[in-house]
Amino acid sequence: MRRLARRYGSGQEAIGGGQRLSRVFSRALAVLLLAELMLGVSGGRLLAQGDMLQQPDDPAFLPWQEEVGPVDDDAGQSGPETPFDPERLALMAELRVGIVMDPAAGDFGRAAPFRELLEEGLRIPVLLIAYRDLSQLQRALVGGEVHYAPLSASAYAAAQGECSCLEPLVAPRPPDGEAGWHAIALARAGEAIEAPADMAGRRIATGPRDAVGSRLVQLAGIADAGMDLEQKAASLIAHDDPLAAALALVRGDADVAFAWSSLQGEAAAGYSRGTLRDLAERGAEIAGLKVVWASGAIAGAPHVVRQDVPREIRNLLLEVMTGQGAAEAVSDDGFVAVGAQDYAPVLAAFPPEAGVSRGRLRPLGGGD
């Protein structure tokens, strides 16, 4: 059985872009290994379990570049070896990065620059592990099977609520320079609803029952303000999405609607992004609506690292991911540093030990 991942006892390997790596060879190897994946060749769940057959729901290791000899330069001399950093290897033998990707989809090429970027910056081996769905990736993070993963705000909050072991590191830089997005509550202008206390006994239209930005954040935030709508609202009516909830408010079928917005830009146009903007673009009259509650700003989809990763490695990850290389390899607009405070409204919706795994994962570099 051929493994899809390989650990080198020497602690040395050519780094992508270095003189020891033959890119043509590694790409050809990736194609061959991908073909094996799609034909059913199994790999180990963990490197220490490489001889065990992979089950359908097990993660798949993305193709790992084989070690090759130094490339001869034009003068016929062998180029110098580029070892991993021994001091960093002493801190951490490898960094395991989890992503959601169906191995059968054959989309490995999209993730390769991400791995190469991290390995070049950290100078320790970086292993990408693909999981078929978000719940598997969350379990892997919580259980320590992977150290680092790009998530959504809600996926991070759900996992953090289970283990209190994660740290958001970076998030994609918004192309428009905005700080993030807000969960909001809307009411009709002229109605005697100005604050959470006025929502008691009212009909509340929300997004789906497990929607973070159009239900869970509002319920948690408004409860923190002293109004438990799950107990005191006349009704909480779930809709397919926040736009449908807002349309129920416009029609008069609800007194309050939960939605989301950037709260930046021209208010009369519905701001730059969000449910009010969607309403305006569909020709709905938004001048008769008002924002009666808003959460703090919520940053975009975070890249999350386990807190038991050595601080020096975490600092290096931050340096790498906020550098120009990340903009070229992962997200065109680059990344900005974030912290738990940038997700406080979402974290409040997933209190510790809630035992709930929810959230959605976006592609590498995507927004929430």
Residue 61 has pLDDT above 50, yes or no: yes
Q: For residue range 158-191, list pLDDT tens digits in order.
A: 999 999 999 999 999 887 777 789 999 999 999 9
Q: For residue range 279-292, list pLDDT tens digits in order.
A: 999 999 999 999 99
Q: For residue range 218-261, list pLDDT tens digits in order.
A: 999 999 999 999 999 999 999 999 999 999 999 999 999 999 99
The answer to whether 63 touches 43, Cβ cutoff 8 Å, is: no
Q: At what angle do helices 311-321 and 108-122 cross, to 10 degrees?
A: 120
Question: What pLDDT score was predicted for residue 75?
Answer: 44
Residue 13 has pLDDT above 60, yes or no: no
272-275 LR contacts (CB < 8 Å, sep 24+): 272/176, 272/178, 273/178, 273/181, 274/181, 274/184, 275/184, 275/186, 275/214, 275/242, 275/243, 275/245, 275/246
Question: What pLDDT score was predicted for residue 60?
Answer: 53
Round to whole Å and give the CA distance between 271 and 294: 14
Q: What domains, with CATH codes, occur in the chain?
A: 23-175+301-347 (3.40.190.10), 182-294 (3.40.190.10)
- pTM recorded for the entire structure: 0.74
If pLDDT is split at 50, 70 and 90, which confidence band does 96 have? very high
Lowest mean pLDDT, pick from 21-25, 47-51, 89-93, 146-150: 47-51
